[in-house]
Amino acid sequence: MPRVTFTANLRRHVDCPPADVPGSTVGEALAAVFAHSPGLRGYIVDDQGALRRHVVVFVGGEAIRDRVRLTDAVASDAEIAVFQALSGG
């Protein structure tokens, strides 16, 4: 299963340990995390489900392309890392 990890800066505000979750896209993997931790959702995505403007998600070290619908594919052994974008905030 893909593994999702979160920046330490986010862990200051909300509990978000690394999670091994099912999913073949970034969106599916994050949805699985949010199902387990509903309070985490609003920190990562906006009210419409798009990635927050100042959050970035890397899959295997590459920033994802689809920040709106989160359709980037992930392999079963993918490392999905949620970071803050160095773009203000």
Partner 1 sequence: MDTVLIGTRKGLFTLRGGEVARVSFLGAAVTAVLARDGVLYAAVGHGHFGAKLHRSRDRGETWEEVAAPKWPEKPAGVDDRSPMTGAAWPWSLDQIWTLEADPRAPDALWCGTIPGGLFHSADGGGSWRLLRSLWDLPERRQWFGGGYDFPGIHSVCVDPRDDARVLVGVSTGGVWVTEDGGESWTLRGQGLRAEYMPPERQFDPLAQDTHRIVRCAAAPDALWAQHHNGIFRSTDGGGSWSEIKAKPSSFGFAVAVHPRDPETAWFVPAIKDEFRVPVDAQLVVTRTRDSGKTFESLREGLPQKHAYDLIYRHGLDVDETGEMLAMGSTTGSLWVSERQGESWSVISHHLPPIYCVRIS
* Matching residue, tokens 């590459």: 62
User: Contacting partner 1 (CB under 8 A), which of 46, 63, 65, 75?
Assistant: 46
User: Contacting partner 1 (CB under 8 A), which of 18, 22, 42, 60?
Assistant: 42
AA identity, residue 70: L
User: Does 76 contact partner 1 by CB under 8 A?
Assistant: no
Q: How far is the CB of 81 from partner 1 (least distance, A)?
A: 14
Decide whether 24 or 84 has the Cβ nearer to partner 1.
Answer: 84
**H or E stretch including 61?**
none
Q: How far is the CB of 34 from partner 1 (least distance, A)?
A: 14
Contact present, 1 and 80 (Cβ < 8 Å): no
Task: Give the whole-angstrom CA distance, residue 35 versus residue 66.
Answer: 21
DSSP symbol at 73 = B
| Helix, strand, or coil (residue 2) | coil
Contacts to partner 1 by CB under 8 A? 9-10, 13-14, 39, 42-44, 46-48, 50, 52, 54-55, 84-85, 88-89
